[in-house]
A and B are shown apart, each in its own frame.
Chain A
């Protein structure tokens, strides 16, 4: 079992709709959870981070964390063509070592105009 799993996609969403991206992790002691966006040929950039169970909103983005079920999700409201990218989930877990992020393989999102 991979430590951090994501559906590779591609996920296609119409412009203006809600895009939902999911991630599961294996280490129940994981403490910190991150979502990165990566455009083709570019390096990852942080979108959201979440530490506590529940929802965290930042503009059009909402991160949701459920530690009991060991999943974290990212919702993108009012999707725009500029949101088309690969989204990486990353986790800092109890067994992963200080500040060492473990990444999922990413979900490729395409927003259809």
Chain B
């Protein structure tokens, strides 16, 4: 089974803090994605990566950055957390040519 894990299920941070969310997949997938999910807005793509050290902006990249130094690991960074970044963050990965994305369990981030 595909396994996508995320570093934390719940996280509480203060405004202005630097926040790292980590995602690890164990299936040697090239493609990895970070989404946030908010009520009424659905899943919105923040950043994605097709390969190590490659990254592309999604629909809402402002206030976020990413890092992919190893194939299995894709990190989302909030340089200076703000209250409007309180959300559920979902990581996903899949192999090129496969049928769909596999999601991690999600991290619910609260910024106070």
Contacts and interface: CB of A to CB of B under 8 A. Distances in A.
Chain B associates with chain A: yes
A8 B56 CA distance: 30
Interface stretch (B11-19, B35-43, B64-72, B78-86): B35-43
Given A43-B105, A46-B100, A104 B42 contact: yes
Interface stretch (A12-20, A61-69, A75-83, A95-103): A95-103
Interface residues of A, number: 20
Interface string B70-112: 0000000000000000000010001010011111111000000
A49 B98 CA distance: 11
Contacts of A88: 42-43
A52 to B, nearest CB: 13
The size class of the interface chain B forms with chain A is: 20 to 34
Contacts of A42: 105-106
A101 B100 CA distance: 9
B40 A43 contact: no
Contacts of A44: 43, 90, 103
B100 A105 contact: no
Interface of B: 31, 33, 35, 40-45, 48, 50, 56, 58, 90, 94, 96, 99-106
